[in-house]
Structure 1
Amino acid sequence: MTQGFQGTDKVWLVMMKAMRALTRYAAAGIEDTGLGLSDFGVLELLLHKGPLPVNTIGPIVDLTPGSISIAVDRLVAKGLVSRVESAEDRRVRIVALTPRGKDLIVSAFRKHSGQMKRVFSELSPEELRGLEVKLKKVGKRAAALMEKD
């Protein structure tokens, strides 16, 4: 008879299952606003960071250069973002929220935030902070190992 997962293998499995469930729950709420996950990620980034060069957005929201170009084209076509040449370097395209895009992402983010509060309501503030600290630590370690390999 084989033993079940233990130690780091068990933690990884639990974390993956939790992330899948959390992503499905969040995606359903986000899609109710008419956005997909990648579009939500781009709009949310612009809401909180302001206008950014298109080549800066992709790595932050984990989209390839081709995928971020398609996402920005789609958001421009919907009138949710604008794309203009940088005043400093005409080769650089700056992406910014339009008023319509800002209204949509503010509303969508408010809904998303409420969903996350419901999910994490099982944790005390101390447990939530502890989880945040531990996940950051593990994430930074994994990123550092990726750079080494």
Structure 2
Amino acid sequence: MDQERDHYLNKKQDPSLKLFVVLSKAYRSVADQVAKDIRNHGLNTTDFGVMELLYHQGEQPLQKIGDKILLASGSITYVVDKLEKKELVKRTPCPNDRRITYASITESGQELLNDIFPEHWKQIEAITAGLNDTEKREAIQLLKKMGMYADDFSMKE
């Protein structure tokens, strides 16, 4: 019993759990502020994510959008339907394969993002201003390292 207690006490000094909790809280705080900014522009984060992908990477097969913005495939159809009704996104069938449909951003969608992006960028800069540029670069490297290790870890199991 003393051995279990000692093991637990040693675990309490391990910063792994603390890192997870702090990282989760920081992500939630930042994500909530970014979502609020996006809502101020009349979109939700999923709509914005789809439009941003199409804006920056061009036409995409519907089947691939979910993988790129971490959204379930069934939700993609719903989101693209909504954006299509607002004339921000359009669908185009693949001429060579009837199973594939592409989504692309319309001119109206591009104009909307051109209007949104400068202010949105300023908001992200303000939200992350708690760190200076050097600290941001360090955080990026450390979080990438942790994420890549976690991805590799899951593949080993």
- TM-score, normalising length from structure 1? 0.91
Of the three residues 99, 112, 121, the one matched with 1:113 is 121
Structure 1, unaligned runs of 5 or more: none
**Aligned-partner residue type, residue 11 of structure 1:** L
Deviation of 1:111 after TM superposition, in Å, equals 2.3
Q: Which deviates further from its counterpart, 79-88 or 36-45?
A: 79-88
Alignment partners' CA distance in 2, 1:35 and 1:80: 11
Q: CA deviation at 1:31?
A: 0.3
Shift of 1:118: 0.8
1:99 is matched with 107
State the structure with more CA Rg. Answer: 2
One-letter amino acid matched to 2:127: V
Which residue number in structure 1 is paired with residue 143 of structure 2? 135
What CA distance in whole angstroms lies between the structure 1 residues aligned with 2:152 and 2:116? 33
Q: How many residues align?
A: 148
Question: Is the 2:33–2:127 Cα contact (8 Å) retained in structure 1?
Answer: no
Is contact 1:47–1:97 with CA below 8 Å preserved after alignment?
A: yes
* CA deviation profile, 1:39-87 (whole Å, cap 9, x unmatched): 0000011111011101110111111110111111111111100001113
> Which stretch of the first structure deviates more once superposed, 86-95 or 72-81?
86-95
User: Which residue identity does 1:113 align to in structure 2?
Assistant: W
Percent of aligned pairs sharing the same letter: 34
TM-score scaled by length of structure 2: 0.86
Q: What corresponds to 2:65 in structure 1?
A: 57
Q: 5 Å matches for 1:33-72?
A: 33-72=41-80
Mapped partners of 1:32, 1:69: distance in 2: 24
How large is the RMSD of aligned CA atoms in angstroms?
1.8
Distance 2:37 2:16 in 1: 31
User: Which range is displaced more, 127-136 or 107-116?
Assistant: 107-116
